[in-house]
Amino acid sequence: MNEFQEKFFEEGTQLLQLVLERLESADIPYCIERNYQEYPNIITGDVDVLVLRGDLGAAVREAQDAARQLEWGQFVSYVGTYVAHLGFYSDKCLSRFVLVLEFFVGAAWRGLQFLCPERAIQMRQRHGFTWKPNPAHEAIITLIHHLLYNHRVYEKYRSRIGALVVASPALFEEELSYALGPRMARAFTSLVLAEDWDELENRARNLRCKFLVRSFASRPLRSAVAVCRVCIDTSKKSDGVVISLDSIRNNSPELLADELIELAVRWHIFVPPNRKKIMFQSKNAAKLVKSTVASGGVAVVLNPLGEELGISLRYPIVHVEEQDSVLSVRIGDKSAQRVLRDTAPLEIWNVVLQHRNKVLGLHK
């Protein structure tokens, strides 16, 4: 690990450790949903934290206070009924480091819980300086989340899920029956143990419907309230960002677009999973830009003639322009800032995050 990487991890480690220490001090029980193995020293992406519903607001305040204490800025602040998405950034490194925290009340799809938060907290386990879920719960969180949201289980998660289920298949089946009922829980447990991922993904096509039916049949009022609240919360979701690469000819606009998106993916800048490279003159370009931004994502527009996008957005478009082979970044009526091509992706994100922090009126 070189000097830059050491500093990169040091900054993120310091904030994550302070957040979790503050949660402990405030008597807010929590557990890290996944990827906790080498926390706080190695942070692979965003940090997913499971809390009780009554503690969601307090957990958000503790995280924001920790960031303020270490002089980190904030560029995303979305707090719903069952989830909170917080994005923090620091300019103390050679380049900016981003840490994204997501707080979840249990594990849910469209507000309908497939893992009860009280049960998850009750059965959590100590892991170094932090807390992890019970292995059966971690397997449920990862497996059911991906089947409901993606209709598939990505290769990188399969061995981990399998190992967690093998450790305690009876408990996995018992806990899974809360969401799926005894019969389906038994079938899913058998399929994981047999490593029959194709059949699991085939069954995912009907899983949403069956999960909806069971949720409303067993918990009708709670499920109806949850779905309504999620619909209301969606209107409060933070908008993403549009970065328009205008009239760029000598500085590889497509490569720059890929580099901007690669950093967004690596650091979970703005809300995943929508991070798109869009040709300005392509069919339905404006519609695609709007939908990406509305989802909280990142739209990088290749605009070779520097034309106006002609769409109304909540936040101004970030224009990256080329003048005399030099790149500059302009947002709204703010003065343009020149950037070097070699460091352009980092410097562009620096400008974007600083601006969003100021617009939101958050600390720093």
Residues 6+ apart with CB under 8 A from 54: none
Task: State how far the Cα of 44 lies from the Cα of 1, in Å rounded to an integer.
Answer: 15
Select from 148, 151, 130 the least CA-distant residue to 18: 130
Task: State how far the Cα of 327 lies from the Cα of 346, in Å rounded to an integer.
Answer: 13
In this structure, what is the dihedral angle of CA atoms 104, 105, 106, 109, given to the nearest 10 degrees? -70
The amino acid at 127: H
Neighbours of 307 (CB within 10 A): 12
φ, ψ of residue 291 to 5 degrees: the values are -65, -35
pLDDT, tens only, 20-33: 999 999 999 999 99
pLDDT at residue 309, as a whole number? 83
Q: Which residues pair with 132 in a beta bridge?
A: 125
Angle CA 126–129–134, to nearest 5:
25
Three-state DSSP state, 129? coil
Where do the structural domains in the chain lie, given as residue ranges? 1-105, 108-236, 241-360
Residue 9 has pLDDT above 70, yes or no: no
Helix 3-25 × helix 56-69 angle, to 10°: 140
The pTM assigned to this predicted structure is 0.89
User: In the predicted model, what is the mean pLDDT of the chain?
Assistant: 89
pLDDT, tens only, 35-82: 898 888 888 778 999 999 999 999 999 999 999 999 999 999 999 999
CATH architecture of 241-360: 3-Layer(aba) Sandwich (3.40)
Task: State how far the Cα of 100 lies from the Cα of 43, in Å rounded to an integer.
Answer: 10
Angle CA 66–16–86, to nearest 5:
70
pLDDT, tens only, 185-227: 999 999 999 999 999 999 988 899 889 999 999 889 999 999 9
1-105 placed in CATH 3.30.460: yes
Q: Which long-range contacts (CB under 8 A, 24 or more apart) does 325-328 make?
A: 325/250, 325/251, 327/248, 327/251
pLDDT at residue 96, as a whole number? 62
Task: State how far the Cα of 73 lies from the Cα of 185, in Å rounded to an integer.
Answer: 44
Residue 364 has pLDDT above 70, yes or no: no
Query: Residue 104: enclosing H or E segment and its boundaries?
Result: strand 97-105
The answer to whether 49 touches 133, Cβ cutoff 8 Å, is no
The pairing of beta strand 298-303 with beta strand 241-246: parallel
